[in-house]
Amino acid sequence: MTKLIEIKNLRVHFDVDEGTAKAVDGVSFDIGENRVLGVIGESGCGKSVTAHSILRIVPSPPARMAGGQILFHPRSNGGVQAPPVDLLTLDPKGEDIRKIRGKEIGMIFQEPMTSFGPLHTIGDQIMETIITHDRTSKAEARTRTIELLRRVGIPNPEKRVDDYPHKFSGGMRQRAMIAMALSCSPRLLIADEPTTAIDVTVQAQILELLRELKEATGMAILLITHNLAVVSELADEIVVMYMGRVMERAPAEELFNNPLHPYTIGLLHSIPVLDGPVVRLEQIKGSVPSPCALPDGCVFHPRCDKCRQGVCDGQEVPELKEISPGHWVSCFPQPGGRGL
């Protein structure tokens, strides 16, 4: 797998009145070219902060980059591969990150209504992105915008290009947001909860659209979601996060068929099954701790049925280890060292 993005021990902290909130606390994973990586977990686990850190759009203050690296591998130039760029070393408002943001890495935000300005047409906002990065004429940018809207399934794009955001339905705004994210042919598309604000029927259409675009363009996708059904439809590999840390990482099929971390198992057991007998859904006991007062040891141990006193709640934090090829888990081994 050719790596596109490598995230190494990323730490993002928020300095708030209650103390220091460790929103991202040592996250490591990579994204390969033409691959779909799904990141799942409960709300507040650090998924979106991790994604926003790649584009350097985390608000600072109160946020601060407390450590780590985000290595971005540029396009090869004449067959010569340039060394990776650590995005955390770039000025968030500087020219270097602006050349990457939107051009090399596009993003679909959670709520497209707040992502489009209400005072400008959909077309003008997409055209601005094209003109900024590709230095093209306004006429050519408009032609490309109409074609993008047609490509993402918006009917009558020659007319809708001049509509304002409030005239688009939720599903159409999401499609327009995808068109904007794709306007400069990015190598990586970050999709942050792309189906949260739309109904189930449109969800399926958006997922199918992302799949088709990925196959047509070869771009990689970082899919941020709390919906296991969504990630199972699209992802090649899945990262499970909890309280700013990676609990488990594995190929999608392996994770669903052989989950190893107690948190992953709890998430999968909370999904209703359509076929088979009707059973009461299991729930993960307890509640999510404050990010300003994370538990010692394994951050999940207060809610874990397999917690071992003196081990899981100690001072040592479990390392993310490769249990089998491509399957990584952050959990202490059972007595005798026989795995999880």
Over the range 284-316, which residues count as b (16 or more CB within 10 Å of their CB) and which as e? beeeeeebeebeebbbbbbbbeebeeebbeeee
Over residues 110-129, the pLDDT tens digits come to 776 677 888 999 999 999 98
**DSSP state at residue 302:** G
C-beta separation of 145 from 123 below 8 A: yes
Amino acid type, 296: D
- Measure the CA–CA gap between 176 and 206, rounded to whole angstroms: 11
How many angstroms separate the Cα of 44 from the Cα of each of 22, 263, 288, 294?
11, 15, 9, 13
CB atoms within 10 A of CB 5: 23
- Measure the CA–CA gap between 219 and 138, rounded to whole angstroms: 26
Q: Phi/psi at 106 (nearest 5 deg)?
A: -100, 165
Read off the tokens for 304. 């874990």
Q: Domain extents for the chain?
A: 1-90+226-273+280-340
Lowest mean pLDDT among 67-71, 155-159, 182-186: 182-186
Q: What is the pTM of this model?
A: 0.89
Residue carrying the six token digits 């994370």: 294
C-beta separation of 320 from 247 below 8 A: no
C-beta separation of 176 from 162 below 8 A: no
Over residues 170-183, the pLDDT tens digits come to 888 888 888 888 88
- Measure the CA–CA gap between 33 and 110, rounded to whole angstroms: 24
Is the pLDDT reported for residue 281 higher than 80? no
Environment class of 23 (CB within 10 Å of its CB; exposed 0-12, middle 13-18, buried 19+): buried
Q: Reduced to 3 states, what is the DSSP secondary structure of residue 276?
A: coil
Q: Reduced to 3 states, what is the DSSP secondary structure of residue 40?
A: strand
Question: In the prediction, which pLDDT does 160 show?
Answer: 95
The rounded Cα 301 to chain-centroid distance in angstroms is 25
CATH (residue range 1-90+226-273+280-340): 3.40.50.300
Read off the tokens for 153. 């399934």
Question: In the prediction, which pLDDT does 338 show?
Answer: 45
H/E run at residue 13: strand 3-16
Q: What percent of the chain has pLDDT over 70?
A: 91
H/E run at residue 297: none
Over residues 228-243, the pLDDT tens digits come to 888 888 899 999 999 9
C-beta separation of 264 from 45 below 8 A: no
Which residues, in sequence order, are CB contacts of 114 under 8 Å at separation 6+?
A: none
Lowest mean pLDDT among 9-13, 49-53, 71-75, 247-251: 71-75
